[in-house]
Amino acid sequence: MKVRVDRELCRGVAACVATAPEVFQLDDKGVAVVIHPRGVTDDQLWKAAESCPFNAIILEDEQTGEWLYP
Ligand code: SF4
């Protein structure tokens, strides 16, 4: 699974960091960045994406590029 953060939507709530600190961190602007896309299992990645109240975490199929979430 491919993960990225829509930096326009992110409001720095850091729910993603709390859920998957191996993958997400806040940068010096307080916006989430992906530091290690394969840091957790797909299930955990999914939970982290669902934890974002702004739907700023985007999941895509690595092979097909299909938009999976949100
Ligand atoms: S949970 Fe969403 S809004 Fe909060 S830091 Fe992560 S991506 Fe940004």
The pLDDT, as a whole number, for residue 39 is 93
| Number of C-beta neighbours around residue 29 at 10 A | 9
51 CA closest ligand 1 atom index: 1
Distance separating alpha carbons of residues 59 and 28, to the nearest angstrom:
24
Distance separating alpha carbons of residues 29 and 37, to the nearest angstrom:
20
The pLDDT, as a whole number, for residue 42 is 95
Q: Which of 70, 58, 67, 43 is nearest to 20 (CA)?
A: 43
Ligand 1-lining residues (CB < 6 angstroms): 5, 10-16, 24, 32, 51-52, 54, 56-57
13 CA closest ligand 1 atom index: 4
The pLDDT, as a whole number, for residue 34 is 98
Distance separating alpha carbons of residues 16 and 52, to the nearest angstrom:
6
Which tens digit of pLDDT belongs to each residue from 10-54? 999 999 999 999 999 999 999 999 999 999 999 999 999 999 999
In words, the CATH class of domain 2-69 is alpha beta
Distance separating alpha carbons of residues 25 and 33, to the nearest angstrom:
6
pTM: 0.94
